[in-house]
Amino acid sequence: MERLRSLASELFRPVDGASLAFARIAFGLIVLWETWRYAEKGWIHTFYVKPAFTFTYYGFDWVQPWPGDGMYLHFFVLAILAVFVAAGLFHRVACALLFLAFTYVFLLDQTRYLNHFYVVSILALLLACVPASNAISLDARFGITRAAGFVPAWSVWLLRTQLSIVYAYAGIAKLDRDWLQGEPMRSWLANRTSFPVIGRFFDTEWAVVAFTWGGFLFDLSIAPLLLWRRTRPYAFVAAALFHWMNDQLFTIGIFPWLMIAVSTLYFDPGWPRRVFAFLQRSATAAPELPRRRAVLVIGGVFLALQLLVPLRHLLYPGVVAWTEEGHRFSWRMKLRDKDGTASFRVRDAASGDEWVESLSELSKRQRSEMATHPDMLLQYAHRISRKYAAKGQRVMVFATAKVSLNGREPHLLVDPGVDLAAEPRTLGHVTWIRPLESEAAIHTETPEPDD
């Protein structure tokens, strides 16, 4: 009990808020960069304006794209909020609104699920809960915060722990038969032999082993190495090189740069003042602390959820990379390569007439993602059923989806004899997903999906 009280006291000890401020600034600028990328590359129109249908998450069917020019305005507001966050101006309100606005975009379409979007939402929420503008901010400059310069230690440790969870679960997820046998890394590297200098080695087995086991060991060890003072500088350099290499080899957006930036939180809280000599504290007062019990309880519950949610795939039978049950929100990053095609056979319940439904309203990405995800196949089957029900016609909908996992021969993903229109959407296990038929991977050169 005495040790717990000592730990609690340590968590509420005032520390320099400079490292938290640096993370806030970097986070805001990276989100600003991401919104600019979406506008500059036309992705707002491609992903959120043009589609006639989006694959919503379970329980979030009410989250739909804004009509008219609303999505463009939404991203403009996101950019403004990112500027406020980086500047540390009304930072709690700005971070809370950015969390809501970004999470709204994240929830619009499951085919756009990206782990780095999930990271952004979590970090925005956490930054709204910690005094990240107590230093190096307009809030501190204009006296909006009462204790400029210092933050309670728990606010830094909360983000450190969240980052450690991301790294650790990314490593644990690689305790996978396919991954440890070199797939899908073997296929990915074989398509990148033109990479400068080292690309000519990518078709060798030792390169496959190095990348496969290197990624596994990095994810498992990097957080402890960053936490230990003696290894911290070397670990940070290794982390920066690892994320840079991922950025060069794979299409994973802002994730590498975001992780490099926020991993600086593992350093001593005052490191920015030593690196940037012009940064000086504007006050020496201790931070105003909230109720300790509330912080410990809320923070403990949040971290417990972050620890438990990635393990929920253990509640489902089968191979998670195949069934997708429990895959999302679990930090299972760059683990599998899936490719497939899907079609829907529709039968009129009264006449027995059958036809193949057109998928022309879906984008190429939507068709590709839907084909490899049973829950999306179910959701689209429901859409087909509703479309004909609106015309007074009751139909049965059957899906034929042939999918290849990590170079295997394509197999049926779902039972083509099950009327998906009659199956409910659920978070529980569904019996109409067919089991993975072959455990032996067939090594082929196939493009990998986004993170």
Selection from 229, 280, 231, 263 nearest residue 17 by Cα: 280
Q: How much is the pLDDT for 391?
A: 93
CA–CA distance, 156 with 305 (Å, rounded to integer): 19
Distance from CA of residue 12 to its chain's centroid?
Answer: 30
Kindly state the tokens that stand for 208: 């496959």
The model's pLDDT over 332-369, given as tens digits with 9 standing for 90+, comes to 998 899 999 999 999 999 999 999 999 999 999 999 99
Residues facing residue 342 across a β-bridge: 401
pLDDT at 9: 77
| pLDDT single digits (tens) 20-72 | 999 999 999 999 999 999 999 999 999 999 999 999 999 999 999 999 999 99
Q: What is the mean pLDDT of residues 97-117?
A: 96
Output the pLDDT for position 141.
Answer: 86
Mean pLDDT of the region 84-111: 97
Mean pLDDT calculated for residue range 99-123: 96
Q: Are 307 and 360 in contact (CB under 8 A)?
A: no
Question: Does residue 14 or residue 78 have the better pLDDT?
Answer: 78
| pLDDT tens-digit map of 1-18 | 666 667 777 888 899 999
For the chain, the first-to-last Cα distance in angstroms comes to: 43
Predicted pLDDT of residue 444: 46
pLDDT of residue 446: 43
pLDDT at 25: 97
- As a whole number, mean pLDDT of residues 153-180 equals 95
* Mean pLDDT along residues 261-282: 83
CB 86 within 8 A of CB 137: no
pLDDT, tens digit, 9 for 90 and up, residues 282-314 = 545 555 556 778 888 999 999 999 999 999 999
Burial 318-357 (b: 16+ CB within 10 A, else e): bbbbbbbbbbbebbbbbbbbbbbebbbebbeeeeeeeeeb
Q: What is the pLDDT of residue 262?
A: 97
- 19 compared with 279, residue with greater pLDDT: 19
Confidence of residue 278 (pLDDT cuts 50, 70, 90): low
Q: Specify the range with the lowest mean pLDDT, choosing from 49-63, 199-213, 263-277.
A: 263-277
For the chain, give the mean pLDDT: 91
According to the model, what pLDDT value does residue 288 have? 56
Q: In the Cβ-directed half-sphere of 75, how many Cα atoms lie within 13 Å?
A: 21
- Cβ atoms of 106 and 121 within 8 Å: the answer is yes
Among the residue ranges 209-223, 226-240, 355-369, 432-446, the one predicted with the least confidence is 432-446
User: Domain residues of the chain, as ranges?
Assistant: 11-315, 337-422
Task: Report, as an integer, the average pLDDT of 207-221.
Answer: 95
Q: Are 127 and 93 in contact (CB under 8 A)?
A: no
